[in-house]
């Protein structure tokens, strides 16, 4: 286990040195509940993907290069990083462990967030879902009030730019609301809630110990507890279940999924 | 949860079970979604539209200034008129930022010798008073920020915006901390809080803080206010070397 050291010194003049070796775990086979289309390291943890958190960590450790071993969908991961320009670090991808790699003890497996790596790997889909939820809530708990794009309204209540909150909504910390989200009348957010950017929480809905992914509509009087709402998909971490909603007024995706729409019709016309 | 709430919940969901109630709720969702589309779409589009219109007007209106400056630069040492510098744009993407050339043609080679004399606090931004590489015309156009005017072209093509954090050079960005990188989230611009306030007289941590505060409070009205405040700051020529 490699604990993250949040170096708080404002020294920007030391040249980056060394290499950070990372490995992306291949959990394709155990992801039976969430059934996400992207590999584990691209799952969203708070405001960015797990891999982006590790790239931040690479900047914090001031390394010159990041080498990532990803046996699972390496091309997709490479495309998501866009050459690592945002972090201005050199990144190299390997499908398998190359000969020049250091021993396994020096390669960090990205099973969780930097400094929050879980003690043991999940064995099945429910455990994976619980890990996903607990990692995000732990990230929220340990979030430092350092510089961030989100404003801190109250201690540990972060609100992004352009958020509209109804005056009768109740926010309890720690909670984090992404840019341009909308919180309806009498809605209850928190404790421990992450609302993704451009999401809409309708009136009298409540989100506690839960995550709402970006661009999701949470319908009126819906109570989410230890759940992850992602578009029209609701994942229950306690029971390990996945429910797809067909009634849009309960749970829906705000942005039209045109590709999915055309795929559906293509399938209907071809059969 | 009080019994009253319970009763209200039962009423709500039993209404949702009927065909009429379902239609009403679905209609409410669509109304919300259309409003959402307008709000989200406008926040993304409006700034870009304003950028295109205003920078286009500025390019047209400033044609005489461009012509005179170009002529003067050409007359002084027969070197190139424009100077394209690689800067870091939104999300770290690189782009070429246009400027009028205000330094001698081999300025970049001379820079390494001068790096040791860097005066800026924090040491990350390279800027100094009485830089010996600046030409005579260069000093004048820098004082009134005329050398920055070709950047309206960058705004027009979409690499930059009128208001936003100043784009940094890649060498500086390499040294950025995680917190400093937040300023890369916005499209870089011609002017921002710290140009209007202290201009070059502010240290690096302060710049980042102001840029982040700008991103936090991004709105079109704020952009317009900042643009109006930039004009007197430029005309007074304070803070620019």
How confident is the model over B88-131, as pLDDT tens digits? 999 889 999 998 888 877 776 777 666 666 555 455 555 666 67
Mutate to test the interface with A, among B174, B182, B208 (most CBs of A within 10 A): B174
| CA gap B57, B54 in Å, rounded | 5
B94–A198 C-beta distance less than 8 A? no
Q: Is A256 exposed, middle or buried (0-12, 13-18, 19+ CB in 10 A)?
A: exposed
Question: CB contacts < 8 Å between A and B, how many?
Answer: 99
Task: Find the range with the poorest average confidence among A47-51, A84-88, B139-143.
Answer: B139-143
List chain B residues with CB under 8 Å of A217.
Answer: 29, 32-33
CA distance A60 to chain B (A): 7
B22-79 residue pLDDT tens: 999 999 999 999 999 998 888 888 889 999 999 999 999 999 999 998 898 888 888 8
pLDDT tier at B188 (50, 70, 90 boundaries)? very high
Residue A7 confidence (pLDDT) above 60: no
A122-155 residue pLDDT tens: 989 999 999 999 999 999 988 876 667 788 888 8
Nearest Cβ partner of A161 from B175, B204, B215? B215
pLDDT for res A198: 92
Nearest Cβ partner of A161 from B13, B28, B217? B217
Predicted ipTM of the assembly: 0.80
Q: Average pLDDT, stretch A245-262?
A: 84
A198–B36 C-beta distance less than 8 A? yes
List chain B residues with CB under 8 Å of A56.
Answer: 178
A167-179 residue pLDDT tens: 999 999 799 999 9
pLDDT, greater one: A221 or B195: A221
Using only the alpha carbons of chain A, give its radius of gyration.
20
B203 interfaces chain A, CB cutoff of 8 Å = no
Residue A51 confidence (pLDDT) above 90: yes
Question: Quick check: B36 and A200 in contact, CB under 8 A?
Answer: yes
| CA gap A51, B17 in Å, rounded | 43
Which residue is listed with tokens 């290069």?
A: A65
pLDDT, greater one: B117 or A75: A75
Question: Quick check: A55 and A79 in contact, CB under 8 A?
Answer: no
Whole-model pTM: value is 0.85
The residue of chain A with its CA nearest to that of B217 is A161
| CA gap A94, A68 in Å, rounded | 6
């Amino acid at each position: 286990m490699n604990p993250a050291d949040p170096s708080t010194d404002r020294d920007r003049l030391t040249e980056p040195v060394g290499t950070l070796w990372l490995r992306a775990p291949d959990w394709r086979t155990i992801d039976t509940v969430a059934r996400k289309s992207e590999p584990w390291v691209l799952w969203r943890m708070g405001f960015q993907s797990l891999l982006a958190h590790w790239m931040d960590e690479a900047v914090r450790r001031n390394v010159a290069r990041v080498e990532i071993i990803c046996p699972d969908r390496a091309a997709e991961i490479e495309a998501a990083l866009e050459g690592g320009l945002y972090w201005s670090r050199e990144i190299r991808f390997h499908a398998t462990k190359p000969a020049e790699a250091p021993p396994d003890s020096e390669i960090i497996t990205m099973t969780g967030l930097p400094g929050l790596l879980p003690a043991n790997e999940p064995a099945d889909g429910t455990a994976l879902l619980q890990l996903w939820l607990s990692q995000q809530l732990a990230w929220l708990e340990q979030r430092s009030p350092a510089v961030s794009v989100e404003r801190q309204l109250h201690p540990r209540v972060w609100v992004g730019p352009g958020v509209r909150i109804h005056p009768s909504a109740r926010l309890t910390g720690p909670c984090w609301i992404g840019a341009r989200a909308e919180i309806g009348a009498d809605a209850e957010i928190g404790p421990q809630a992450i609302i993704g950017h451009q999401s809409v929480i309708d009136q009298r809905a409540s989100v506690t110990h839960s995550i709402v992914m970006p661009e999701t509509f949470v319908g009126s009087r819906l109570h989410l507890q230890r759940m992850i709402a992602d578009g029209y998909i609701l994942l229950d971490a306690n029971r390990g279940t996945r429910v797809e909603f067909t009634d849009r007024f309960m749970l829906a995706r705000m942005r039209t999924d045109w590709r999915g729409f055309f795929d559906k019709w293509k399938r209907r016309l071809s059969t | 949860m009080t019994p009253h709430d319970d009763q209200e919940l039962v009423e709500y969901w039993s209404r949702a079970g009927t065909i009429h109630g379902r239609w009403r709720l679905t209609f409410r969702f669509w109304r919300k979604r259309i409003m959402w589309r307008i709000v989200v779409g406008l926040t993304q589009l409006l700034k870009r539209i304003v950028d295109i219109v205003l920078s286009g007007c500025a390019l047209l209106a400033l044609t005489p200034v461009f012509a005179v400056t170009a002529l003067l630069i050409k007359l002084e040492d027969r070197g190139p008129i424009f100077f394209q510098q690689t800067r870091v744009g939104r999300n770290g993407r690189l782009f070429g930022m246009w400027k009028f050339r205000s330094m001698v043609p081999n300025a970049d080679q001379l820079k390494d010798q001068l790096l040791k004399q860097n005066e800026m606090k924090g040491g990350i931004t390279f800027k100094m008073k009485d830089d010996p590489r600046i030409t005579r015309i260069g000093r004048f156009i820098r004082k009134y920020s005329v050398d920055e005017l070709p950047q309206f072209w960058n705004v027009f093509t979409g690499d930059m915006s009128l208001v936003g954090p100043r784009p940094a050079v890649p060498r500086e960005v390499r040294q950025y901390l995680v917190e400093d990188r937040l300023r890369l989230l916005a499209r870089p611009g011609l002017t921002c809080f710290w140009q209007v306030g202290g201009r070059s007289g502010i240290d690096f941590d302060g710049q980042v803080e102001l840029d982040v505060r700008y991103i936090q409070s991004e709105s079109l009205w704020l952009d317009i206010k900042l643009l109006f405040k930039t004009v007197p700051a430029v005309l007074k020529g304070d803070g620019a070397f």
